[in-house]
Structure 1
Amino acid sequence: MYEPPPPYDDRVRFLEDRFACAQSCTECARACAVLVSSAELGTVPPTGHGPARPVPAEPPASAESPHGLRRALLLCVEVCDATCRLLSEETLQDEYALRLQVEWCRAVALECAHVCDRSPDTADCAEQCRACARACTAFLAMLD
């Protein structure tokens, strides 16, 4: 059965929301990657209040340790990067698969923000993750 194309304004809004979501995913992935790389180098990235400082050399005490943070950050980098690549493709895509990927990205970004909230040094990353989740939510609303 033939379906007429959506009105021009709806198509433009779809593309704008899709681009905003992809851009936000990229920024979230970048913020998380910076934290992971700085942890591997033994420094905490600057927060805008002076230079980077050494990370205290304490053994991990629990799942909420730096290792738990690192795992959350790495997962967020991977999922946000994959979501951005999917959203940036120009080919026609299965809407169901696209929706699943964006929903997964939103969930992972929110979880990463929650983990980042436990440390004042990761507040900027937590905010980037929340912005990514908001952009994913807006894009999902556009799909409905």
Structure 2
Amino acid sequence: MGACSRPAIDAASGPARGFRDAPPGYPAGVTSTTSQTYQTSQQELFRFLEDRFACAQACTECARASALRASLVDPDGTDEQALLRRKGIMCAEVCDATCRVLSEDNRLDEAGIRAQLEWCRTVCLETAHVFDRHPGAEESAAACRACATACTEFMETLA
């Protein structure tokens, strides 16, 4: 995964600059000049980046589990097996794309990131429901639910 960059605060502008100039998809800034506000802003940014990374990790794990589950299904099986395979592949692709959005500096705005997270959350929950109907897919369903939860929690951070 790529490293998330954080806004630069140079010595000349100091804490007064805050995070006003943060890249798209980063939390809104604090413009106060107090050192307490600056420290709080840094803590908020670190928390934001940790939450973003945790969500990207959950997406990666879900993508791996979904792809693995899809690969174990007989492609010429029943309609239910075909559904499981399709959902697993789709979930893996959406989670992979979401991980890339979260881990790369792609300059998406908050609305774009939120839309990607919502899509990922929805697909993960749908896939978990399909996995629930198949013995042996419990671990994959749990990974999908964990990813959906991480997406939901990260969307709350964007609010």
TM-score scaled by structure 1?
A: 0.79
User: Does the 8 Å contact 2:71/2:85 carry over to 1?
Assistant: no
Question: 2:106 & 2:136 partners in 1: Cα distance?
Answer: 40
Counterpart in the other structure of 2:44: 10
User: 1:33-83 CA distances to partner (integer Å, 9 max, x unpaired)?
Assistant: 11122225x8xxxxxxxxxxxxxx8x52x5xx1001111111101100000
Question: 2:124 & 2:147 partners in 1: Cα distance?
Answer: 7
Question: 2:117 & 2:136 partners in 1: Cα distance?
Answer: 27
- Aligned residue runs from structure 1 range 50-89, under 5 A: 60=78, 62=79, 65-89=80-104
Give, as a single letter, the amino acid of the residue that structure 2 aligns with 1:116: F
**Runs of 4+ with deviation above 6 angstroms:** none
**Selected match of 2:132 from 117, 121, 136:** 117
Q: Greater CA radius of gyration, 1 or 2?
A: 2
Counterpart in the other structure of 1:20: 54
Question: 1:69 & 1:37 partners in 2: Cα distance?
Answer: 10
Counterpart in the other structure of 1:126: 141
Number of positions where the alignment pairs a residue of Structure 1 with one of Structure 2? 124
Kindly, what percent of the aligned residue pairs are identical?
A: 51
Give, as a single letter, the amino acid of the residue that structure 1 aligns with 2:115: L
SS at match of 1:121: coil
- Unmatched runs of 5 consecutive residues or more in structure 1: 43-56
- Unmatched runs of 5 consecutive residues or more in structure 2: 1-16, 20-28, 30-40
Task: Kindly state the Cα deviation for residue 93 of structure 1 after the two structures are TM-superposed.
Answer: 2.4
Counterpart in the other structure of 1:142: 157
SS at match of 1:133: helix
RMSD of Structure 2 on Structure 1 (CA): 2.0
SS at match of 2:136: helix
TM-score scaled by structure 2?
A: 0.72
Question: 2:71 & 2:108 partners in 1: Cα distance?
Answer: 33
Highest RCO, 1 vs 2 (Cα 8 Å, sep ≥ 6): 1
